[in-house]
Amino acid sequence: MLNAKQYRQRQTRLLRRMPPNSIMLVPAAQLVTRSRDTEYVFRQHSDFWYLTGFNEPEAWLLLSNHERYGGDYRVMVCLAKDPHTEIWQGRRLGPEQAAETFKLDEAYPTDALSELLPEWLDGHEALYFAQGECDFADEVVFTALATLRDAPKQNRAPQQLIDSRPLLHTMRMLKSRDEIEVMRTAAEISARAHCRAMQFAQPGCFEYQLEAELHHEFAMAGARQPAYGTIVGGGENACILHYTENSDEIMDGTLILIDAGAEYNGYAADITRTFPVNGTFSAPQAELYQLVLDAQLAALNEIKAGVTLPDVTQVVIGVITEGLCKLGLISDSVEEALAAQHWRRFFMHGLGHYLGLDVHDVGDYVHNGEPLPLQTGMVITVEPGIYIPNDTDIAPQYRGIGIRIEDNIVITNDGYDMLTGGVPKTIADIEALMAQRTV
């Protein structure tokens, strides 16, 4: 788990990357209405969480390196203590305790922000802020700037407005040792949940029942929320890449694709496994499954610091195309099929993405027009797939099959560290685990 000292170190690193006499404003998330007078479960904004570890709404972090402070200056505004409100809505830390807990120079109640913000902005040359991300935050900031610009006989508002996201998100791309350990825990929880779902599955079960098994395992381990909408697709539903209805009965003889990950201490896991509901792969299912697994293993064999995702993707495309030609799903030669990009009909998504506080985590994939090489400390997914819906001219034995295999890895100098090895993915290991079912 990360502590206040580590969050403060992140703030310091950020301040060192800002030019002198700059200020950065980072708003927390707000409560979001679910219906009428109820809200969704609160989830903190990832950037705010990355810099503070503070899990309350309607807060702001202000970071300044202006010379008038004689060094770095850290201020938070947050909801004030209110015994009556806290009876109904839960405890608040309050400004005084927030300043002490998070080692801040000052802290104030949120309702003081509009009065204090023009004063804090005054005299800074550059303002770092994620303009356009949140209408409410935009209104607060631009109202303060207007107040400062309209002040009589002076206009000391920041002359530069700079998007804070590139600077902050570049930092988030490379994970610290402690972040990786949190992500390892998220991955281990998620792996246990996938194993549990495999052992629960049987012909006639419903997709939502498997979803419930997954979420129960998450919550019992302290990961109260999934990191994204859980996908449980039986049969042809697996061919819908972001299928989340999870409402259908799963028929005997079909495969189940589960794409699910826990969120633990703000960090996401993202695992996909595909397995037969009855515990045994049919011959056509096994042929396609082994092809996807071979493609993933080929990708993993290539991955290390310095390579690019497009380079690894080309290796995967080659394996998949050759395998589809061998099975007769593509009638052209391998060379002709690659030139015509026939593989796109079966594998239409990317090979992987960054993973962290967001399941599709922040960070650029291209720099100066060129793919960004993988770097030590990045965490990525590796997730090839093959999808063949029923409405197709492919041989009948392969129709209605969607397969994806996804793991989470940490990039190292000479390869990778597998975070999600706790859930089986070979045909033999999946069938062996499912044979242990007690339902």
360 is annotated as an active-site residue: yes
Give the residue among 200, 196, 192 at the shortest CA–CA distance from 439.
200
242 is annotated as an active-site residue: yes
119 is annotated as an active-site residue: no
Q: Of the residues 311, 349, 399, 431, which is catalytic? A: 349
37 is annotated as an active-site residue: yes
Contact call for residues 194 and 233 (beta carbons, < 8 A): no
* Cα separation, 223 vs 263, whole angstroms: 6
Q: Of the residues 16, 37, 135, 391, which is catalytic? A: 37
Q: Of the residues 361, 383, 407, 416, which is catalytic? A: 383
Q: Of the residues 387, 398, 407, 416, which is catalytic? A: 387
Contact call for residues 190 and 269 (beta carbons, < 8 A): yes
Q: Of the residues 169, 236, 404, 407, which is catalytic? A: 404
| Three-class SS of 144-204 | HHHHHHCCCCCCCCCCEEECCHHHHHHHHHCCCHHHHHHHHHHHHHHHHHHHHHHHHCCCC
- Our CA angle for 135, 137, 141, nearest 5°, is 120
393 is annotated as an active-site residue: no
270 is annotated as an active-site residue: yes
252 is annotated as an active-site residue: no
* Cα separation, 236 vs 257, whole angstroms: 10
Contact call for residues 167 and 18 (beta carbons, < 8 A): yes
211 is annotated as an active-site residue: no
100 is annotated as an active-site residue: no
387 is annotated as an active-site residue: yes
383 is annotated as an active-site residue: yes
DSSP string for residues in 343-395: GGGT--S-S--B-SSSSS----SEETTEEPPP-TT-EEEE--EEEE-SSSSS-
Largest CA distance in the chain: 82
Q: Of the residues 211, 353, 358, 416, which is catalytic? A: 353
Tally Cβ neighbours within 10 Å of residue 221: 17
Reduced to 3 states (helix: H, G, I; strand: E, B; else coil), residue 54 is: coil
**β-strand 126-128 against 22-27: which pairing, if any?**
parallel
Which residues does the annotation mark as catalytic? 37, 242, 259, 270, 349, 353, 360, 383, 387, 404, 406
